[in-house]
Chains A and B, each alone.
Chain A
């Protein structure tokens, strides 16, 4: 009995929980590239090289919620701000399972991906930057965060 309980305790301590196996990785930046003063520029979530990309992995049948934290502007030289906006179809998710269909969604809303049958999801994001007519030329950047909540 004593031996059995010790074995059970060891097994529970060593086994990773389902939550611990949920992971998320930033794969690719959302890259607008060169934009011209006074001319808005958009990148769609399905763009093969410019859209932002995350990868989420979770055990089969996991229940998670994903939520973007989005900037209102990119920061540039001398504190200049470049407005960025996200439309209702500027996010897209596709599962890793064969035959998975891409689903577009609003990046400003939470979403509950179903990890069945896929155990990995690629989440893409696009957006629109709107440089003003007198926008300061230079490089601009901001952070986009994707957060997973287990439940």
Chain B
């Protein structure tokens, strides 16, 4: 009986201690909030896309490797990729006269050279570059003009716009 009393006291003490521990528990866990701040993107126009003289009835193509290719320069953060999007004309204009233009070609490179450049087709939908360490990209643009036989003589021009956003 004496043993029973002692054990009962121990049991009661144990329960009391246990309850106090339960109320005092504050389990926790942590995660990280992370972000990578990138410098602002900038796009600068470089060379105009120049076809020079064209002959009515004869298509003329400027390839991205040609001297007349248009260029843009993108300044970006290292270790990032960008989406290149274009607004492209369907005609060059000389007053009310129009000169059809199309068959756009493009390439981007981390240097100002077409050697080793990555080809793509410029489009409003956009093209992703690779994620790369460069802080500048050069984009080359070519196209084809298609003057019909009756094309009016004159100087024709249109605007090619490129935009870039991080992806």
Please measure, in the bound complex, the distance between the C-alpha atom of A1 and the C-alpha atom of B5, giving whole angstroms. 10
Please measure, in the bound complex, the distance between the C-alpha atom of A23 and the C-alpha atom of B25, giving whole angstroms. 11
Please measure, in the bound complex, the distance between the C-alpha atom of A20 and the C-alpha atom of B39, giving whole angstroms. 48
B32 pairs with A24, CB closer than 8 A: no
Which stretch, B10-18, B48-56, B111-119, touches the partner chain A? B10-18
Contact with B along A29-40 (1 / 0, CB 8 A): 111111111100
Which stretch, A91-99, A111-119, A139-147, touches the partner chain B? A139-147
With a CB–CB cut-off of 8 A, which chain B residues contact A36? 37-41, 166
With a CB–CB cut-off of 8 A, which chain A residues contact B33? 29-32, 52, 71, 74, 84, 127, 141-144
Please measure, in the bound complex, the distance between the C-alpha atom of A131 and the C-alpha atom of B77, giving whole angstroms. 15
* Dominant secondary structure of chain B at its interface with chain A: mixed
Q: How many residues of A contact B (CB 8 A)?
A: 58
* 8 A Cβ contacts from A69-128 to B: 71, 74, 76, 82, 84, 127
A32 pairs with B23, CB closer than 8 A: no
A53 pairs with B36, CB closer than 8 A: no
**B149 is an interface residue with CB less than 8 A from chain A:** no
Min Cβ gap B119→A in Å is 26
Min Cβ gap A20→B in Å is 8
Residue of A nearest to B7 (CB): A5
**B110 is an interface residue with CB less than 8 A from chain A:** no
Given the interface contacts A5-B7, A19-B21, A137-B77, does A35 sit within 8 Å of B29 by beta carbon?
A: no
Residue of A nearest to B19 (CB): A17
Min Cβ gap A74→B in Å is 6
Residue of B nearest to A33 (CB): B36
Listed from nearest, the 5 A-B pairs whose CB atoms lie closest are A19-B22, A32-B35, A147-B28, A5-B7, A26-B31
Chain B residues at the A interface, C-beta cutoff of 8 Å:
1, 3-4, 7-8, 10-11, 14-15, 18, 21-23, 25-41, 77, 80, 166
